[in-house]
Amino acid sequence: MCISGSLPEPGFLTMATTDTLVRAEGAQLSPPQLDPFPLDSRAGKRDSLAIRVAGNVLGLFAERGLQMAIGEELKQFAVDPNSADIRMSVAWTEKLDVPRREPQFDSGGLWSVFDEEGGYRFVFSSPSLGAGPYKAAWLDFEFKTGRLDLFRPYFDARRPVYPLEYPLDELVMIHRLARGEGVEIHGLGVVDGVGRGHLFVGHSGAGKSTLARLWQQEPGALILSDDRIILRECAGQIWMHGTPWHGDVGVASPQAAPLHRAYLIEHGSRCELIELSKAQAAAEFLARCFVPHYSAEAMDFSLQFLGRVARETPCFLFRFLPDCRAVEAICRAAA
Q: pLDDT tens across 263-277, in order?
A: 999 999 999 999 999
The dihedral over CA atoms of 124, 144, 120, 161, expressed in degrees to the nearest 10, equals: 10
Residue 16 clears pLDDT 60, i.e. is over it: no
Is 21 or 100 the better-scoring residue by pLDDT?
100
- pLDDT, one tens digit per residue, over 63-117 is 988 999 998 889 999 999 999 999 999 999 999 999 999 999 999 999 999 999 8
- pLDDT, one tens digit per residue, over 156-182 is 978 899 999 989 999 999 999 999 999
Q: Distance between CA 301 and CA 293 in Å, rounded?
A: 11
Q: How far is CA 170 from CA 58, 134, 156, 291, 329, in A?
A: 11, 18, 24, 11, 33
How much of the chain exceeds pLDDT 90, in percent? 79
| The model's pTM | 0.86
- pLDDT, one tens digit per residue, over 131-143 is 899 999 999 999 9
Looking at CATH, the fold of the domain delimited by 183-334 is given as Rossmann fold (3.40.50)
Q: Distance between CA 198 and CA 196 in Å, rounded?
A: 6
- Mean pLDDT calculated for residue range 205-228: 96
* Angle ∠(292,298,303) on CA atoms, nearest 5: 105
Computed on alpha carbons and rounded to an integer, the radius of gyration of the chain in Å comes to 20
Please, what sign has the CA dihedral across residues 234, 235, 238, 240? Answer: negative
- Mean pLDDT calculated for residue range 170-199: 97
- pLDDT, one tens digit per residue, over 229-238 is 999 999 999 9
Q: Distance between CA 270 and CA 274 in Å, rounded?
A: 12
DSSP one-letter code for 45: P
pLDDT at 65: 87
130 band by pLDDT with thresholds 50, 70 and 90: confident
Q: What are the DSSP calls for 212-264, one per residue?
A: HHHHHTSTT-EEEESSEEEEEEETTEEEEEE-S---TT--B-S-EEEEEEEEE
Strand (E) positions, 72-174? 86-93, 105-106, 111-116, 119-125, 133-140, 145-151
Is 46 or 309 the better-scoring residue by pLDDT?
309
pLDDT at 275: 98
Residue 246 clears pLDDT 90, i.e. is over it: yes
Burial of 324 (0-12, 13-18, 19+ CB in 10 A): exposed
pLDDT at 168: 96
The dihedral over CA atoms of 315, 320, 322, 327, expressed in degrees to the nearest 10, equals: -50
Q: Distance between CA 241 and CA 224 in Å, rounded?
A: 7
All structural domains of the chain with their residue ranges:
48-177, 183-334
Among residues 74, 116, 79, which one has the least CA distance to residue 99?
116
Other Cβ atoms less than 10 A from the Cβ of 270: the count is 9
Question: Over the chain, what is the mean pLDDT?
Answer: 87
Other Cβ atoms less than 10 A from the Cβ of 226: the count is 28
Residue 118 clears pLDDT 80, i.e. is over it: yes
280 band by pLDDT with thresholds 50, 70 and 90: very high
DSSP one-letter code for 197: E
213 band by pLDDT with thresholds 50, 70 and 90: very high
pLDDT at 15: 28
Residue 61 clears pLDDT 70, i.e. is over it: yes
Q: Distance between CA 5 and CA 33 in Å, rounded?
A: 10
Residue 22 clears pLDDT 60, i.e. is over it: no
